[in-house]
Amino acid sequence: MLQLPHQPLQVAAVPSQRTPAREDQAGPWHSEAVCRRDEAGLFFAPSKEPTAARLAREESAKRVCARCPVMIECQEHALIQPEPYGVWGGLTAAERRVVLARRRRREMELKASSASAGAAGRIAAAG
């Protein structure tokens, strides 16, 4: 992963100030994230990481995510932003791209079906 000199890896592991965090009595969701206690390198790939090492690291990160009380909030954050790197909410960047593509397809199908239903209703009312 390409690291910018002004943004250390640790900062990238948890949402920064740019993220509108959901606030509740306990504070922002990311304050409860289990990954805050783990090494950020587990969630973000070093440059030129071999495939087998990446897969093993991602599985380890997903195990951390699986026991996290804010996994869903983290996942939604990563999908909304969208976060281009790392494991967030138990999903890799590639898995998040698949989820986003499915959401877009589902939205388009819903729009198309509601447009079809609307047209059929107008035809029936006119007849």
74 is in an annotated binding site: yes
Q: What is the percent of the chain with per-residue pLDDT over 70, rounded to a whole number?
A: 70
Which residue, chain included where needed, has tokens 């910018």? 4
Classify residue 20 by its DSSP letter. -
pLDDT in tens, 20-41: 344 444 568 888 899 888 778 8
Query: Radius of gyration (Cα) for the chain, nearest Å?
Result: 20
Q: What is the pLDDT of residue 25?
A: 47
Asked if the bond preceding 82 is cis, omega within 30° of 0, the reply is yes
Report the distance separating Cα 21 and Cα 31, nearest Å: 10
Q: Which residues contact 26 (CB under 8 A, 6 or more apart)?
A: 32
Q: Is the pLDDT of residue 105 over 90?
A: yes
68 is in an annotated binding site: yes
35 is in an annotated binding site: yes
Per-residue pLDDT band at 15 (split at 50, 70, 90): very low
Contact 74, 88 (CB under 8 A): yes
pLDDT in tens, 80-97: 998 999 999 999 999 999
Report the distance separating Cα 11 and Cα 29, nearest Å: 16
Report the distance separating Cα 85 and Cα 52, nearest Å: 18
